[in-house]
Amino acid sequence: MSTVWLPEPTVRRRDPAPRRPPFHLLAKPAGAICNLDCTYCFFLSKELLYEGSRFRMADELLQEYIRQLIEAHGPAPEVTVAWQGGEPTLMGLDFFRRSLEYERRYARPGQRIVNTVQTNGTLIDAEWARFFRDNGFLVGLSIDGPRAMHDAYRVDKGGKPTFDRVMRGLARLRDEGVEWNALTTLHDANAGHGRDVYAFLRDECGAAHIQFIPIVERTTAQDLPAADAGWGARSKDRPLYLQEGDQVTRRSVTGEQYGRFLIDVFEDWVRRDVGTVYVQMFDVALANWYGAPPSLCVHSETCGRALALEHNGDVYSCDHFVEPRHLLGNIGQRHLLELVDSPEQQEFGRHKRDGLPRYCRECGVRFACHGGCPKDRFDVTPDGEPGLNHLCPGFKEFFHHVDLPMRTMAALLRENLPPALIMRQYAAADDRRPHNAPCPCGGGRKWARCHGRPPHPTRAG
């Protein structure tokens, strides 16, 4: 259920006018199959969509997929091939070697093909790491923070913790100099520890690119007990995860927790890491304040340009909507481009904007938020209109909190100055701040006991 933080897609229409908006596709060569059994991973239940399948992308389909993907990009200078799961490394190295062969075969002269892979990291050894390095893969590694927070839900099929295996995989990636991002999901076990999670990722893992994904496991009142037990194979009566219902599991974050987490991290980041550590949500916010298109669909006005490809060639509207009513077709029968540009898919993408309740349309931070992802819009607004995002209180709190620093950094950018200069302003203000003054994070504690003190990531683990 994780998503690689992809580089900006660069798809261009063959004839330059009118331009087709860029798209990218997350391919799942092993479907929902994974060697782990993370309790919150609703994608594990998607196995139920393909009962009886071997869950391995066949070689002919791999070739067809690469051919169509590259063709769909026309003369674009760069094409991203994004691998995801389940756990894509279960396919073995030969699968990826063949993919590279097909990429070389179908790429246009001078066209660059970039591969990304999202992995739980537990199967990465020196051979995998060298392969990723030698072939320029960008690796997204799922890690939820220090040991106790990570192991709360990221467990194997026997329910055993995985922290040590992930850290071993990370060590191999770092030994070989592989480019990697941390992908950290936020849930009830780590959401209250923003500073410690961030310090752990930055200082102990050496992460320079970090993506935080709030866990919102949506379900119906009827399915809630089974959903609470988890979506993996250890849970006997797991239902198929569908974007339905207005209940959430006990693991899910609340809007308030999400907002507080982001603010806690931001208050550390803005004091020491601007320009050296990239936190996706902060980049996305800055893009919206600056007036550039954000690189994340969740906080864009419309969406529908991030699709998912299953192991058998089925294409779905989005990785979060791999369910029968959002199946667009199969690339064995219809060209990928036809599916990407289909009227159903365009309607899917427009609905993100057109389905906003009035409360969002009139919101002061709508330009930065855009109502969040439609999958999480199952709450009602204060005036009773359905369709409000479950995370709205957190979005509001975070976007209001960062308004001034975002305006400052956007102004620096407009003057061709580095946004990192903002750290000097923070340092000067902190120098004047009395120890017992309220912390500017707004969490209610004194400065010296909150963001004025160093975090303790290992103690928190």
Among the candidate windows 113-121, 284-292, 356-364, 427-435, which touches ligand SF4 by CB under 6 A?
Answer: 356-364
Is residue 2 involved in binding ligand SF4 (CB under 6 A)?
Answer: no
Contact present, 356 and 299 (Cβ < 8 Å): no
Nearest distance in Å: CB 57, ligand SF4? 22
Which residue's structure tokens are 């159903």? 344
Choosing from 352, 390, 401, 451, the residue that interacts with ligand SF4 (CB under 6 A) is 352
Binding residues for ligand SF4 restricted to 55-94, rule: CB under 6 A: none
Is residue 375 involved in binding ligand SF4 (CB under 6 A)?
Answer: yes
Contact present, 162 and 154 (Cβ < 8 Å): yes
Is residue 365 involved in binding ligand SF4 (CB under 6 A)?
Answer: yes
Is residue 339 involved in binding ligand SF4 (CB under 6 A)?
Answer: no
Is residue 369 involved in binding ligand SF4 (CB under 6 A)?
Answer: yes
Is residue 297 involved in binding ligand SF4 (CB under 6 A)?
Answer: yes
Choosing from 20, 396, 446, 453, the residue that interacts with ligand SF4 (CB under 6 A) is 396
Contact present, 452 and 433 (Cβ < 8 Å): yes
Choosing from 30, 322, 392, 402, the residue that interacts with ligand SF4 (CB under 6 A) is 392
Nearer to ligand SF4, 133 or 350 (CB): 350
Nearest distance in Å: CB 143, ligand SF4? 21
Choosing from 200, 231, 258, 359, the residue that interacts with ligand SF4 (CB under 6 A) is 359
Nearer to ligand SF4, 78 or 323 (CB): 323
Is residue 389 involved in binding ligand SF4 (CB under 6 A)?
Answer: yes
Is residue 320 involved in binding ligand SF4 (CB under 6 A)?
Answer: yes
Is residue 306 involved in binding ligand SF4 (CB under 6 A)?
Answer: yes
Nearest distance in Å: CB 407, ligand SF4? 17
Nearest distance in Å: CB 317, ligand SF4? 7
Choosing from 79, 318, 328, 410, the residue that interacts with ligand SF4 (CB under 6 A) is 318
Is residue 199 involved in binding ligand SF4 (CB under 6 A)?
Answer: no
CB atoms within 10 A of CB 417: 12
Is residue 9 involved in binding ligand SF4 (CB under 6 A)?
Answer: no
Among the candidate windows 107-115, 150-158, 211-219, 364-372, which touches ligand SF4 by CB under 6 A?
Answer: 364-372
Nearer to ligand SF4, 149 or 336 (CB): 336
Active-site residue list: 319
Among the candidate windows 66-74, 121-129, 186-194, 387-395, which touches ligand SF4 by CB under 6 A?
Answer: 387-395
Nearer to ligand SF4, 138 or 365 (CB): 365
Both tokens of 22, joined, read 């860029």
Residues that bind ligand SF4 (CB under 6 A): 297-298, 303, 306, 318, 320, 352, 359-360, 363, 365-366, 369, 371-375, 389, 392, 395-396
